[in-house]
Structure 1
């Protein structure tokens, strides 16, 4: 019969097990390396998907969004497509720079690890980005969308310096992107506060 571990030893073993799993390398699917290798696809993919998302959510943007209470710092409607066109194109270009750095570095080297890490963060933020519009405008789930955009901002705050270490030119993409998502997080959080949070109750009084 095995002897039960003491409480402290058990917790230590659990922490060691968790750390060993956390340290294991997670390989991206091959397609996520292949897509940004082509600069046209790297830039065109986020632009095309962003355009399609805009088409799908257009009715909600035009009919439902104007009915929401918004903060005073609300940009004009035309600013959103202009900003996102630039951001999608520049983030796609940055992904091409990251995979180029990955391909030009030696397997097992620190440079390849850094590029791979930045690519993983890139695809993570892109997934979170893709979820936001359908969640906010499609499902009209302001709270869930707010959680999503906070996670997106947190991921970008890790991605921007990680990508800069790989290729300093990515600053021209991720610098404005971080600034815009910071502002978008303020907007989403303010809309939640004014429509669903304590702020909505104060306005009704």
Structure 2
């Protein structure tokens, strides 16, 4: 018996709901991003090299959310059609990782933009990236009509880039206190 509620399996069984859930959650999360990305807090920070225009994020995330949602649909189909307990268990674990990464993904925006905790958000996105890689590996071995890896590889790549951006905002916008000037090459640099 899976620790996931049956409703989460039902959502993933319906391809429209499977794709719509992450897109809808992402759109709701984007509301926070939109307001704060125009705020003085964000616009006065130094962006890392390679930071794209803010208009790129909405379309990219919409595509990635749709792809990950469809991968969850393929995973629940593999769960339903598994002929061995090992196949059922692998698909169940992949779905657990899917919903865990979705929760971590939805947490990043409130951490970075809502609470303005870019360091905590960096820890979150690193945990998210590790979870997505584990999920991608777990889903890769499933018996699905299309390899879920093709749906998840762009997400893995984007998370690597997003982690770099988050780390860049942390590094380039550190608060400097007494005795920490050496961290950014102040007068006391070694």
The one of 163, 170, 174 equivalent to 1:196 is 174
How far apart, in 2, do the equivalents of 1:84 and 1:131 lie? 15
Using CA pairs below 8 Å that are at least 6 residues apart, which structure has the higher relative contact order? Answer: 2
Cα RMSD for the two superposed structures:
2.1
Going from structure 1 to structure 2, the CA distance change for 1:177 and 1:103 (only over 3 Å counts) comes to: same
* Paired positions, count: 180
How far apart, in 2, do the equivalents of 1:44 and 1:52 lie? 12
Structure 1: runs of 5 or more not aligned: 1-24
Structure 1, 120-129 or 25-34: larger mean CA deviation: 25-34
Aligned to 1:88: 65
| 2:30 corresponds to 1:48 | no
In terms of fraction of residues, the more helix-rich structure is 1
Contact 2:2 2:92 in 1 (8 A): no
Aligned to 1:22: none
Q: TM-score, normalised by structure 2?
A: 0.87
Counterparts of 1:174-185 in structure 2 under 5 Å? 174-185=152-163
How far apart, in 2, do the equivalents of 1:202 and 1:92 lie? 41
The structure having more radius of gyration, on CA atoms, is 1
How far apart, in 2, do the equivalents of 1:181 and 1:199 lie? 31
Going from structure 1 to structure 2, the CA distance change for 1:141 and 1:200 (only over 3 Å counts) comes to: farther
